[in-house]
Amino acid sequence: MTTPTTFLRLSAPATGRRAGLALGLLLTAAAPLAAQTTAAPGAATAKAAGRITGVVQNAASKQAVEFATVALLAAGSEKAVLAGACDEKGEFVLANVPVGEYTLAVSFVGYQPQRVAVTVTAAQPAVQLPPVLLAAATTQLGEVKVTGERELVESKVDRLVYNAEKDLTNSGGTAADVLQKAPLLTVDLEGNLQLRGSSNIRVLINGKPSTLLATNLAEALKQIPADQIKSVEVITSPSAKYDAEGTAGVVNIILKKNNLEGLNGNTNVGISNRNAYIGGNLNRRRGKLGLSSGLGVNPFYNLARNVTRRTDYLSDNTQSQLDQSGRFTNMGWGTWGQLGLDYDLTPKDVLSFGVQGNYRGFVNDRTQATDYRLFRTDDGTPLLIDDYDRAIDTRDHNGNVDVNLGYTKQFTKPRQELSLLGLYSLNVGRQRYQLDQTRAEFLDYREQARNDNRNREITLQADYVQPLDSTQTLETGLKTILRHVDSDYRVEADTVLDGRGYRPVPLRSNEFGYDQDVYAGYASYGFALGKKWNFKGGTRLEHTRIVGEFRSTGTQLRTAYTNLAPNLQASWTITPDHTLKASYSRRIQRPGIWFLNPYINSADRRNVSSGNPNLDAELTDAYELSYVTFIKKSSVTFSGYWRQTNNAIESVARLVPGSELLATPDTTRILYTTYRNLARNSNYGLSAFGSTKLTPKWNISGNVNVYWRQVSSPALGLSNGGTMFNLNLNSGWQFEKGWSAQFFGYFNSRQVTLQGRASGYRVYSLGAKKEFWDKKANIVVSVINPFNGKLAFRNELTSPRFDYENNSYFYNRQIRVSFFYRFGKMDNGPSRPKKSIQNDDQKQGGGSNG
């Protein structure tokens, strides 16, 4: 072991990693004194020839505690005489110790500090201490107990954090159930996510993008078990460090991690009348190496029915009316798994590696009755009657894998940091449907289709943080995202039933390739004026290159554009409990594959949909002013905001002849829905969030968001607007003997779209939990919408050419029972500096085009 001879050499390995400790501040202040090895008051002035050696160990595992802080205090004083740090073996040496009586103070993050009396005499100048044992600060009977519980929702400087692991009604659910309870977010009955009424959100997992989320967000959120989610961060005004995409903001889903020493894990089993889940985690950490793993499986089962009516105004004396009714059964299963590794190369250099995968497969059996009438309006004379039934069998399989590698280096100067990150993400989807059409109970048409898609992303990123002084920080970075998407769709039909089987339909089949490359750089500068004012400003430059190709026909599309996205933030701490914040940011929203895929979904030949590969990006200017106050045990946040989006991507429905899309001689009108850059959107809103503890055992939190949305399209001559709102309420109670209960309620008002409106809905749940086995295990029983057997969802579209109304009924009443058990020995380990890639990138959304 090398013996340091000065305080500065001895303490250098420990700086930065223990920044923030009160003892560390004490040692810093005492450095000049210690460097001169001056004896403290009361110590003898004899020749400084003493030497103290020892080792610091974990009290439970007897493993070395690396780089623990060691300080030699004069007896009866808190003044440091010498100070230093342990090496990687937990050993320390204090040299040139004056003769005298001392107290040795040993501390490290995550452990209870320890003090040992030491005496150095002229007769015995060298002192070898027995092992100094540090007990984990939060270890008791193998469980982790947190002192001072976090609130269910926390308001931080730049984000709101929903601590999902503290909400017992989440047990056994999915990510869609969790996000429904996070502040400012809404999730509709089909699983589509919105932030303050906008679906232009970038969703991340542990700060990283995922092709799982890029393909079909609504379905992806059903693949992530709620029991794997630790918290959800809602960021409404991202800084220049984040990608310029996601016009409404960023939602970051934080999965549960493990920084605990030893071998530990948990298992969770749940079942309800709509789904089930079984899974677990196993974690191992020893010294510099940490491993974490998880695996889970969740089968599910859903029922729904719908009724649709559409009236088409074809001419002054001709109309048509379409009536449809149907039912569907949706069942399948998903699996989720992850493996993570991190290794401390040095106390300031951390290497991390992770693999995460998802798979989801389901079968959807649907029946649909169609009644189409074409008639004269003057006398009601029928011109065409078309009645038929369809049985549609759909198979959907989707698999995703993310592989990430990261390196983070912290320098000697506090907050100075370099991170190099890489991510490879792959999503493979396969959809199939087959339909049989009957008229008067006789089969007269058959069709089958497939859509194979593959989405690959490669991301490389470098970030550097340089503190200029205690009040100024400069952040810079470079990033490259390389995307490649393939969609191969084929339609075959048996139109005459002559025994020759299915035949290809070339006009409805193609192979689409799409490349999107993004090159970005950013710079951000933050500074403080006094103790009350903080400012942060920056800009991000992004260049996008797009190449698309329809390989079957040889048609190509090419485009490139460059965007500058500035960002400004300011905060004024009026008092320690009252803060005012203002921000401005420009955001860009590129269309994802869901919006671009040209595959035409014609399972219902009277209502057809597809993506649009010719879409351009949106640009949004966002302004926000917020006020945060803390009153005793209460936190309240008020916000006012304005978002202006030009060239907005909107879903547009229009009537077209059937022969235009379906390659048939049918000239009657069908409703064709796709996406176009047509609209100008403005959202003006006020939101408020509050949380409090009414009693030591009763907490309550809630959020309300009211906004006006105006959407218009001069190109189509359409305009629509209206006031909308959403609100939620969470309340929890702690009882004696390990019992607790929680209530959640959510209400979303009707929504305004360019061509119509969508109805509101409500969801509420109540759960009870019983802990036992020294809190290592618990059982949760919860009910969801117990007084509503089904939820009704109404969608209306209107135009001069047609009126459309769709009423869907989802069977939503649930009762869940889940069991959780935690096992293994757990001791706190030190926190490790790790960074991750954040692609706040493509426009998310849902639809039916596959």
Same domain, 378 and 523: yes
Q: Tell which wins on pLDDT, 471 or 311.
A: 311
- Does residue 429 belong to any structural domain of this protein? yes
Which residue range forms the structural domain that includes residue 462? 260-843
Same domain, 267 and 131: no
pLDDT number for residue 223: 57
User: Cβ distance 394 to 432 under 8 Å?
Assistant: yes
Output the average pLDDT for the chain. 80
pLDDT number for residue 6: 30
Same domain, 623 and 485: yes
- Sequence-distant (6+) residues with CB within 8 A of 805 are 308, 309, 310, 794, 795, 796, 797
- Does residue 476 belong to any structural domain of this protein? yes
Q: What is the mean pLDDT of residues 659-667?
A: 78
pLDDT number for residue 452: 93
Same domain, 802 and 657: yes
pLDDT number for residue 541: 94
- 693-707, 770-784, 796-810, 822-836: least confidently modelled range: 822-836
Q: Which amino acid is at 129?
A: L
pLDDT number for residue 42: 37
Confidence band, pLDDT 50/70/90 cuts, at residue 418: very high
Distance CA 97, CA 126 (A): 9
Residue 8, φ and ψ in degrees, nearest 5: -65, -45
Distance CA 404, CA 771 (A): 37
Confidence band, pLDDT 50/70/90 cuts, at residue 38: very low
Boundary (domain end) residue, out of 109, 137, 165:
137
- Reduced to 3 states (helix: H, G, I; strand: E, B; else coil), residue 535 is strand
Distance CA 742, CA 3 (A): 57
Q: Is 459 exposed, middle or buried (0-12, 13-18, 19+ CB in 10 A)?
A: buried
pLDDT number for residue 228: 72
- Sequence-distant (6+) residues with CB within 8 A of 315 are none
User: Cβ distance 171 to 227 under 8 Å?
Assistant: yes
- 112-116, 137-141, 293-297, 802-806: least confidently modelled range: 137-141
pLDDT in tens, 615-657: 888 888 999 999 988 777 777 889 999 999 888 888 899 999 8
pLDDT number for residue 839: 62
pLDDT number for residue 465: 92
- Does residue 64 belong to any structural domain of this protein? yes
The total number of structural domains that make up the chain? 2
User: Does residue 709 have a pLDDT over 90?
Assistant: yes
User: Does residue 17 have a pLDDT over 70?
Assistant: no
Same domain, 761 and 623: yes
User: Does residue 189 have a pLDDT over 60?
Assistant: no
User: Does residue 791 have a pLDDT over 90?
Assistant: no
pLDDT number for residue 199: 65
Q: What is the mean pLDDT of residues 774-799?
A: 88
- Does residue 219 belong to any structural domain of this protein? no
Boundary (domain end) residue, out of 137, 156, 190:
137
User: Cβ distance 291 to 340 under 8 Å?
Assistant: yes
Report the percentage of the chain scoring pLDDT > 90.
33
pLDDT number for residue 679: 76
Alpha helices by DSSP H, 358-443:
none
- Does residue 163 belong to any structural domain of this protein? no
User: Does residue 205 have a pLDDT over 80?
Assistant: no
Tokens, residue 250: 């960023």
Tokens, residue 836: 């991750």
Same domain, 268 and 123: no
Confidence band, pLDDT 50/70/90 cuts, at residue 723: very high
CA distances 561 to 513, 567, 840, Å, are 20, 20, 18
Q: What is the mean pLDDT of residues 33-40?
A: 34
pLDDT number for residue 825: 57
Same domain, 272 and 414: yes
- 256-270, 667-681, 683-697: least confidently modelled range: 256-270
Distance CA 197, CA 193 (A): 9
- Does residue 188 belong to any structural domain of this protein? no
pLDDT number for residue 136: 73
User: Does residue 270 have a pLDDT over 50?
Assistant: yes
- Does residue 654 belong to any structural domain of this protein? yes
The half-sphere exposure of 267 on its side-chain side, counting CA atoms within 13 A, is 4
pLDDT number for residue 790: 84
Q: Tell which wins on pLDDT, 516 or 631.
A: 516
User: Does residue 529 have a pLDDT over 50?
Assistant: yes
User: Cβ distance 191 to 218 under 8 Å?
Assistant: yes
Q: Quote the distance between the C-alpha of residue 199 and its chain's center.
A: 14
pLDDT in tens, 78-129: 777 888 878 777 888 888 888 888 899 998 866 788 899 998 888 888 899 9
User: Does residue 408 have a pLDDT over 50?
Assistant: yes
User: Does residue 730 have a pLDDT over 60?
Assistant: yes
Query: Residue 509's domain is classified under what CATH number?
Result: 2.40.170.20
Confidence band, pLDDT 50/70/90 cuts, at residue 507: confident
Q: What is the mean pLDDT of residues 693-721?
A: 88
Q: What is the mean pLDDT of residues 447-454?
A: 92
Query: Residue 13's domain is classified under what CATH number?
Result: 2.60.40.10
Boundary (domain end) residue, out of 107, 137, 167:
137
Measured distance between the N- and C-terminal CA atoms of the chain, rounded to whole angstroms: 63
Confidence band, pLDDT 50/70/90 cuts, at residue 488: very high
User: Cβ distance 611 to 849 under 8 Å?
Assistant: yes
- Does residue 95 belong to any structural domain of this protein? yes
Confidence band, pLDDT 50/70/90 cuts, at residue 835: low
- 282-286, 559-563, 740-744, 830-834: least confidently modelled range: 830-834
Confidence band, pLDDT 50/70/90 cuts, at residue 53: very high
pLDDT number for residue 255: 77
- 164-178, 205-219, 309-323, 429-443: least confidently modelled range: 205-219
Q: Taking Cα atoms as reference points, which of 622, 631, 621, 596 lies closest to residue 611? A: 596
User: Does residue 826 have a pLDDT over 50?
Assistant: no
Distance CA 647, CA 591 (A): 12
Distance CA 239, CA 672 (A): 39
* DSSP category for residue 256: -
pLDDT number for residue 200: 64
pLDDT number for residue 1: 38
User: Does residue 724 have a pLDDT over 50?
Assistant: yes
pLDDT in tens, 550-600: 887 778 888 888 999 998 989 898 987 888 999 998 888 888 767 887 888
Q: Tell which wins on pLDDT, 704 or 39.
A: 704
Same domain, 425 and 289: yes
